Amino acid sequence: MHEFSIMQNLLKIIEKEAKANSLSKVNGITVKIGKLRQVVPEFIEFAFATIAKDTIADGAKLNIESIPITIHCEKCNKDYPVIEDTYTCPDCDSLDIKVITGKEIILASIEGDQ
Ligand SMILES: [Zn+2]
């Protein structure tokens, strides 16, 4: 389960952010995860609850938002959403595309008590 390593890295960021904002307790976080990461929300929640135990984020509520996959066609110089795992340009059928979103893992917000 790569969810555990994802959440371990995220917890480090949460702890750093909490410290920077002088939070003594983290009550909730929102994480944006690209669809290409293919994470299972239930696993993410389980991994987070396990990893966050006895840390500043113990018991914090986790909100997960997914980021859709978009590609950029080098020929048309345009961006398109990816529908049904098709990685070609919908206008010109070019394979000369770049994935521009869908791989990210972003800590979008953090709530807590000072
Ligand atoms: Zn194109």
Eight-class DSSP state of 96: -
Over the chain (114 residues), what is each successive 10-residue block's mean pLDDT?
89 96 96 93 94 97 95 97 90 96 95 94
| Ligand 1 ion local residues (Cβ < 5 A) | 73, 75-76, 89, 91-92, 94
Number of structural domains in the chain: 1
Check: CB of residue 32 under 8 Å from CB of residue 65.
Answer: yes
Residue 79: inside a domain, yes or no? no
* Overall pTM > 0.75: yes
Question: Each residue of 26-62: b (16+ CB within 10 Å) or e?
Answer: beebebebbeebebeeeebeebbeebbeeebbeebeb
DSSP string, 47-66: HHHHHTTTSTTTT-EEEEEE
CATH number at residue 57: 3.30.2320.50
Domain assignment of residue 64, given as a range:
3-68+102-113
What is the CA(99)–ligand 1 centre distance, in A? 13
Residue 74: inside a domain, yes or no? no
